Amino acid sequence: MKQGAAHISLKSSQSNFTMPPSASVETAEETEPPGKCGEPPQPLLNRKKYFPSVPDGLWNDWKWQFQHRITTIQELAEYLPMPGEEIKQLEKVACRYPLSITPYYLTLIDPADVNDPVRRQSVPSVLEINDLMQGYDDPLGEKGDSVVPGLVHRYSDRALMVTTNICPMLCRHCTRKRDWNQKGMVHSREEFQAMFDYIREHKEIRDVIVSGGDSLSLSTARLESILSALRSIQHVEIIRIGSRYPVVLPQRVDEELCEMLSRYSPVWFNTHFNSVREITPESAAACDRLLRHGIPVNNQSVLLRGINDSVEAQLALCQGLLKIKVRPYYLFQCDEVRGTEHLRTPIEKGVEIIAGMRGHTSGMAIPAFIVDLPDGGGKVPLLPDYVAAINPGSYLFKNYRGNLYSYRNPSDGSNVNNMNSGAGEEHLLASALPGVEA
């Protein structure tokens, strides 16, 4: 998934629904049923307020959703109240880092909460341009690993195809926000052919990631032509799709798309939920459609300050994902991207969160915490340190409660007698220590 293209104006003039001005919008207090104090407004109520005359048929049409993305601050201010001074400041931000929010995703935002986790991922912040000295435009050095236009070959057995730079939503933490002001681009047939030729010539490539931008921004027919060409290359074993559509425009993941993807099995799908608030009946149904067509769905989230940087937020997200049968796979440290410093957390925070989850939920709900190294250094997993001491013949481990346990380390077979006697001594030694359970 890469950057989108808010600058492409695909606004439709033909539909006859009305976008209500803020003056006519009923307040949440007037329309919400009684609920728990602080409960966020229901997306359905927001839809009723913001898009009262859009029938279900249009609302569920992904092309309508795409065409009616909110791409200006003025437009956004019709839905989310903001003072005039803030509008001016955000317009400056949008000149450098544009915005694009689908109507569906807009309805997930609590308009009364400026720190809403859905809002912070999608609405520009003045902090994006406050500290432009920090970070890099291309922190992962992706341009350097591009072998032909659109194809990145960094790890020997994997290749990444950047099919387009168009995304339905522009996520404020995006690693590729450097490209947001470029024109919307889909590679030409000749460029795709050059990518397929390269993959065909490099027999070590067994795994191809079809990404962008977001490759689901292409028509289903166009996407099928790419998958079909990849499947004709014998050494390509698996195809992965990286897409945030299930989260920000789940209507795109329709039966036609899933049926097409199922014809090119094995296809794996990696999506990008960051908050439990993004798990809705619509996004759950999109993932379910993929799963029912035999397409496994994994989640790759990004650790973001004030959005999901607590044990509670991660537990809610990851347990919510398991409930919709999506596996929490990676939790990424937010890359060192210019314009995202306010969303980044210290590395220790990620390790602390993983430590806080362990023992309090199933291992299936705990993603690997990953730092993607600068300049193409690759991914490094980070784990809390559970080893308190390494002794001859044994390890002293600290569990999630902080209790110590001695564990005999089996010999590698070269010195069985010595190892056995040493292990026994350490076991006794450890169990004699206060707080140590042997």
Question: Would you tell me which residues interact with ligand SF4 (CB under 6 A)?
Answer: 1-4, 167, 170-171, 174, 176, 213-214, 244
Least Cβ distance, residue 105 to ligand SF4 (angstroms): 11
> Which is catalytic among the residues 379, 395, 407, 408?
379
Q: Give residues with Cβ within 8 angstroms of 219, minimum separation 6.
A: none
Assess whether 379 carries a catalytic annotation: yes
349 catalytic per annotation: no
Contact, 22 vs 78, CB < 8 A?
A: yes
Shortest Å, Cβ 304 to ligand SF4: 11
Give whichever of 49 and 172 is closer to ligand SF4, judged by the CB atom. 172
* Catalytic residue (choose from 105, 138, 172, 174): 174
Spatial contact of 216 and 224, defined as CB atoms under 8 Å apart: no
Complex with ligand SF4: residue 32 or 336, whichever CB lies closer: 336
In the complex with ligand SF4, the residue whose CB is nearer, 213 or 393, is 213
Instruction: Identify the active-site residue in 167, 258, 287, 334.
Output: 167
What gap in Å lies between CA 271 and CA 243, rounded to an integer?
A: 5
Active-site hit among 96, 154, 325, 358: 154
Cα-based distances in Å from 122 to 49, 85, 403: 20, 20, 42
DSSP state string for 270-318 = EE---SGGG--HHHHHHHHHHHHTT--EEEEEEE-TTTT-SHHHHHHHH
Does the annotation mark 88 as catalytic? no
Q: Name the active-site residue from 61, 113, 145, 158.
A: 158
Nearer of residues 280 and 300 to ligand SF4, judged by Cβ: 300
289 is a catalytic site residue: no
What token pair was written down for 419? 């190892």
CB of 100 to ligand SF4, least distance (A): 8
Please tell me the distance from the alpha carbon of residue 82 to that of residue 90, in angstroms, as a whole number: 10
Nearer to ligand SF4, 170 or 430 (CB): 170
Report how far apart, in Å, the C-alpha atoms of 2 and of each of 61, 158, 167, 412 are.
23, 18, 7, 47
User: Rounded to the nearest whole angstrom, what is the least distance from the CB of residue 14 to ligand SF4 in the complex?
Assistant: 27
Query: Count of CB atoms within 10 A of residue 399's CB?
Result: 13
* 8 Å CB contact between 100 and 168: yes
Residue with tokens 């569990």: 399
Distance, CA of 350 to CA of 329 (rounded, Å): 14
Catalytic residue among 50, 97, 171, 289: 171
The residue (of 43 and 213) whose beta carbon lies closer to ligand SF4 is: 213
Look up residue 429 and give its two tokens.
């030694």
Give the residue from 187, 297, 213, 212 showing the smallest Cα distance to 253: 297
User: Smaller CB distance to ligand SF4: residue 274 or 280?
Assistant: 274
Active site residue 200: no
Nearest Cα to Cα of residue 215 among 282, 167, 255, 182: 167
Least distance in Å: CB of 372 to ligand SF4? 13
Catalytic residue among 69, 172, 176, 344: 176
Residue position matching structure tokens 């006697």: 421
Q: Is residue 167 among the annotated active site residues?
A: yes
| Residue 176 appears among annotated catalytic residues | yes
* Closest listed residue to residue 436, CA positions, set 404, 408, 407: 404
206 catalytically annotated: no
Q: CB of residue 337 vs ligand SF4: minimum separation in angstroms?
A: 10
State the minimum distance, in angstroms, from the CB of residue 302 to ligand SF4: 8
Q: Which residues participate in catalysis according to the annotation?
A: 154-155, 158, 167, 171, 174, 176, 335, 372, 379
